Structure 1
Amino acid sequence: MLVLLSWPAPAQARWLEASGRHFVIYSEQTEAELRSFAENLERFDATLRFQLHRADLDRSPQTRLTVYVLADQGRLDALLGARGVAGIYFGRASGSVAFTSQVSRVPTDGGLDPQTVLFHEYTHHFLFNNFGFGAPLWFSEGYPEFWSTVRFTEDGSVQIGLPAMHRNIELTLARAMSVRELLTLRYPISDGETLAVVYGRGWLLSHYLSFDESRRGQLDAYLRALSEGQSAEQATHVFGDLDQLDRDLRRYFDQRHFTYALVPAAQVPIRPVAIRPLTAGETAMMYVKLHSKRGVDSREANSLIPEARRIAARFPDDARVQVALAEAEHDARNFAESEAAADRALAVDPHSVDAAVYRAWAMWGRIAASGDATPAQWQEVRRRLSAANHLDPDAPQPLELFFKSFAAEGIPPTQNAIEGLYTAFELAPEDRDLRLLAGRQLLVAGNAAGARGVLTPLTSDGHSGRLGPRIADVLAVLASDGPAAALARLDAPSTDDGRDRTH
């Protein structure tokens, strides 16, 4: 694959892994640079929890965000197949991932830097995992913008509320949009300028509600009202007279002086970050792994196979290398080869959840492709998925696949599978496909309130493409005609996007 050849050979790179409570990071940075980066990410999560009063519950390592840090923008461009994208995030039950590049300084000229994008996207990830309601558009994009400008001092203290210099133009244009319009604006928005204004004015409103003494407590009250099931329109009552709020917000912007807060490092302690060099096999396989994790189409998947097999043959006893091969083979629909690679990985590391998943998933693909799968074979697939679940009961993907296996066989899911689906969703609510699947099952069960709660966040998710308007239509049918009609509308043919390629 040409893009692989455009990068330095793997032997020239020294990849490190940083492992923390909420993140796993792969990078070519020096150990000191990577440790600082990893600790700042962990401190960012701690600050979000501190400010939003969210407990740090013990969760499966499988639910951590994996961040791949490319050496420079050129390599990130090559990986993503687009120029100038400062970063990207994918929420997945198999393991959410973000791709970014190293940045030596934070731009002061209004440019959008990788750290700003990563913090914006992680705030989305955090909100999905810690707030179980659908926030209006202004908050779902404006609040991540507010957090995207966080910076850290040398002693580990955290600066919150710095100006969003990258939104200068949008903030200037934002005066044309009233607060009343901002608070109730919904997707779809066909006008790119209007959407950009939402980002800028959403940041401004988030900043104002966070720092103005006269509005203290209103943002918390607003979020509480939404969590109690109030609509976007109903929840605005916490702000009082919206015309007055509009005037106050305009004055706040016109003063051109924005306060920021400094959270001392002692108030946001973090756990130690462990750093290790990747094995020779992992380093050699990294470029294949990067493409697999980004997501590939059929052509790309097949182009990776020769290199993946060549590397895996050199490192047959490296479990992580064999898992990477299992994933690449599965993406290329080489199910027998994927299953064999997963078996080799498990022979070396019997506790590898990823290997156990691919051992089941590859068998699934193999028997489904045969066209004559037997009930006993499907039972074996589910037995293997159960084995993966036993290795880590809080890993979402085995639970998701266990539920899906019943539809693949053409039989109704068991109650145990349905409960597993709901658990998987609770563990990985950032996965749109999983959210959609859980919402659909709630409609099947006739649980209108549950389905509404699960599906509503998709209507204000700016990264879901045409899926958001489609779900808004389903929810309108749910309100007027009930779960059965909403299910029929949801199952009607659609061309929605917002999905990953192989994930």
Structure 2
Amino acid sequence: MGRNLRGFIGACALAVAVLAGSSPAQAAGWLKAESKHFVVYGQLDERTLRDYALKLEDYDGVLRMFHGVPETQDAPRKFEIYLTNSSSFDRLWPKAPEEVAGFYMSSPNDVFAVAKRTGSDKDTNDYAFHEYAHHFMMQYFPYAYPAWVVEGWAEYFSTVDVHPDRIDIGRYSDGRVGSLFDTWLPLKDMLGKSVWQLKDDEQRFRFYAQSWLLVHYMQAKPERRAQLTAYLKAVGQDGEDPAAAMWRVTGQDAQSLEKSMRAYVDGKFFFQRLTRKPHADVEVKVSALPASATDLLMEVQRMKRGVDKDDRDRFVADVRKRAAKYEGDRFAQLAQADAEIEYGARAVGEDILQRLLKANPDDVEALRLMGESCLEAGEADPDRRAEFFAKARPYIARANKLVPDHYQTLYAYARSRSTDPDYPSENVLNVLLLAHQLAPQVDEISLRTADAMIRRDRKDEARVLLKILANAPHGGGGASEAKSMLAGLDAPAETAAGGG
């Protein structure tokens, strides 16, 4: 199946203009829809939320089929996504650029995505599908991919179109096509740079569009798919320059490859259509969050992103005011305790947690937050760090006993052992490896795991992990630290080679 792209641009612009004026209706309280692989939160009616969870399950099935991941191979944890309206999103990220439609967060505290529902369902789907494609690839196929492959691959699958009787793969990326008919980013830059290395939003937009197009072009024919496989091996395993490797495996230089890509846009643009049977019985459990979630859920998630230093006093005061409306409500108490520990009065937060634990010694979230509070106190006071870290361990151990294999708890335990004279012991390294296996998307855990591997003289394994981090398309502190650690690993060999 195919269609020329140029005639499609005007229709896209009209559709965007019409949809921008609409906004989906929102229910008052927050609901949670939980399926086999997803947990979806939203202020939506039950049917809409349930249908969205089913659509995500369909999408997961497409990714599994395309990548050869069997249905029986479950991810170690469900992917959480929050569907918000504009006002809720602004509470979660008050200073977000206006054009931001959502974000993906992976930290030692949580892994989740947020999608803002301000236009069509397709806009929300494209964003959620894009981020889940990243998450899926990191979970099942971690590798040192070039940045353009990481983003182009996610863009390629973000346009999967799910219908009751069919699923289309490889449709147009509506948000990207316009820039393909304008000046292009030089292919050498697109192939060799990360998103964060580009100078402005215009270049970054072109990067996404051209990356999507090149993935689409390479997927269109079997011989090109074979070239892409050879390319990934050359770059990810052999360390070949991303641009030079592309010229070599395709037999085209920059000028001829750009010409081929432009011709592909102007010609028949093929996608795959799969027929499907009606839904099998997919269980989706929908439940209501406590009323306090309306006032505090976005604030809880905001803390996982981090609150700007200048806003912290106002933020804590606001959380206190919101929590005071729900006396005796566990969710409100946990939210205030978290805010006090992070940005307010630690003693007040710990007192709230101790009251919760007195009422229920098996409150896993209260146990985890108490452990985290002790760890943070130790980080803030180097002279008493070992004391605070030891104080954290009973809380962490009990939380892990109640809910085993929770990556946050495992990582907290490994941190609590970092003051041990023999750190990292074999047991601590195994704990870190398990935490990394459960949440390979979290850079901080990956870096600490790589560091522990190096300390235990498992440098080759550490190098593989660090290369993945160093190639992160959006850069950041994790990528910079990974590059620094790689340089340190390679330094002795270079010194030896240069000596004599």
Q: Would the TM-score normalized by the shorter structure come out above 0.5?
A: yes
Alignment check: 8 A CA contact 2:171 2:271 kept: yes
Pairing partner for 1:135 from 129, 135, 145? 145
Q: Distance in 2 between matches of 1:409 and 1:353?
A: 26
Structure 2 partner of 1:405: 416
Structure 1 partner of 2:167: 158
The correspondence of residues 411-490 of structure 1 with structure 2, limited to 5 A, is: 412-465=423-476, 467-468=478-479, 471-472=482-483, 474-482=485-493
Q: Secondary structure of the equivalent of 2:168?
A: strand
Alignment check: 8 A CA contact 1:188 1:469 kept: no
Pairing partner for 1:207 from 213, 216, 232? 216
Superposed CA deviations along residues 93-131 of structure 1, whole A, max 9, x for unmatched, are 322122222245257xxxxx3432222222222211111
Structure 1 partner of 2:265: 253
Structure 1 partner of 2:84: 70
Alignment check: 8 A CA contact 2:447 2:478 kept: no
Alignment check: 8 A CA contact 1:17 1:27 kept: yes
Q: Secondary structure of the equivalent of 1:88?
A: strand
Q: Is the aligned partner of 1:292 residue 2:303?
A: yes
Return the offset for 1:222: 5.0
Alignment check: 8 A CA contact 1:432 1:458 kept: yes
Structure 2 partner of 1:126: 136
Structure 1 partner of 2:368: 357
Alignment check: 8 A CA contact 2:429 2:453 kept: no
* TM-score, length of structure 1 as denominator length: 0.80
Return the offset for 1:448: 2.8
Superposed CA deviations along residues 18-45 of structure 1, whole A, max 9, x for unmatched, are 1223322221111111112222122222
Q: Distance in 1 between matches of 2:246 and 2:394?
A: 50
Q: What amino acid maps onto 2:467 in structure 1?
A: T
Return the offset for 1:227: 6.8
Classify 1:379/1:290 alpha carbon distance in 2 versus 1 (closer, same or farther; 3 Å): closer
Return the offset for 1:134: 1.1
Q: Which runs of no fewer than 5 residues in structure 2 stay unpaired?
A: 1-25
Alignment check: 8 A CA contact 1:158 1:262 kept: yes
Alignment check: 8 A CA contact 2:161 2:168 kept: yes
Pairing partner for 2:197 from 189, 193, 215? 189
Superposed CA deviations along residues 270-317 of structure 1, whole A, max 9, x for unmatched, are 842211112223334334324324421344343333443455455465
Superposed CA deviations along residues 171-227 of structure 1, whole A, max 9, x for unmatched, are 23476644x765444576243354433322211121122232443555456556767
The correspondence of residues 196-345 of structure 1 with structure 2, limited to 5 A, is: 196-219=205-228, 222-223=231-232, 231=240, 233=242, 239-243=249-253, 248-255=260-267, 257-266=268-277, 271-312=282-323, 315=326, 317-345=328-356
* TM-score, length of structure 2 as denominator length: 0.80
Q: What amino acid maps onto 2:89 in structure 1?
A: L
Q: Secondary structure of the equivalent of 1:355?
A: helix
Q: Distance in 1 between matches of 2:487 and 2:62?
A: 37
Classify 1:58/1:464 alpha carbon distance in 2 versus 1 (closer, same or farther; 3 Å): same
Return the offset for 1:451: 1.9
Classify 1:86/1:347 alpha carbon distance in 2 versus 1 (closer, same or farther; 3 Å): same
Structure 2 partner of 1:383: 394
Classify 1:344/1:52 alpha carbon distance in 2 versus 1 (closer, same or farther; 3 Å): farther
Q: Distance in 2 between matches of 1:105 and 1:140?
A: 25
Alignment check: 8 A CA contact 1:152 1:158 kept: yes
Q: Secondary structure of the equivalent of 1:118?
A: helix
Q: Distance in 1 between matches of 2:273 and 2:363?
A: 41
Q: Is the aligned partner of 1:79 residue 2:92?
A: yes
Q: Distance in 2 between matches of 1:262 and 1:306?
A: 53
Q: What amino acid maps onto 2:197 in structure 1?
A: I
Return the offset for 1:156: 6.4
Q: Distance in 1 between matches of 2:196 and 2:309?
A: 31
Q: What amino acid maps onto 1:67 in structure 2?
A: I
Q: What amino acid maps onto 1:122 in structure 2?
A: Y
Return the offset for 1:51: 0.8
Pairing partner for 2:29 from 14, 24, 29? 14
Q: Secondary structure of the equivalent of 2:33?
A: strand
The root-mean-square deviation of aligned C-alpha atoms, in Å, is 3.6
Structure 2 partner of 1:34: 49
Q: What amino acid maps onto 1:68 in structure 2?
A: Y
Superposed CA deviations along residues 49-90 of structure 1, whole A, max 9, x for unmatched, are 111112453455xx333222222x354245321223111111
Structure 1 partner of 2:63: 48
Q: What amino acid maps onto 1:254 in structure 2?
A: D
Q: Distance in 2 between matches of 1:225 and 1:26?
A: 41
Q: What amino acid maps onto 1:326 in structure 2?
A: A
Alignment check: 8 A CA contact 1:188 1:468 kept: no
Alignment check: 8 A CA contact 1:439 1:455 kept: yes
Superposed CA deviations along residues 364-387 of structure 1, whole A, max 9, x for unmatched, are 344665776485653331122122
Alignment check: 8 A CA contact 1:336 1:366 kept: no
Q: Which runs of no fewer than 5 residues in structure 1 stay unpaired?
A: 1-10, 108-112, 486-503
Q: Distance in 2 between matches of 1:359 and 1:127?
A: 33
Q: Secondary structure of the equivalent of 1:289?
A: helix
How many residues align structurally?
A: 464
Q: Distance in 1 between matches of 2:179 and 2:492?
A: 40
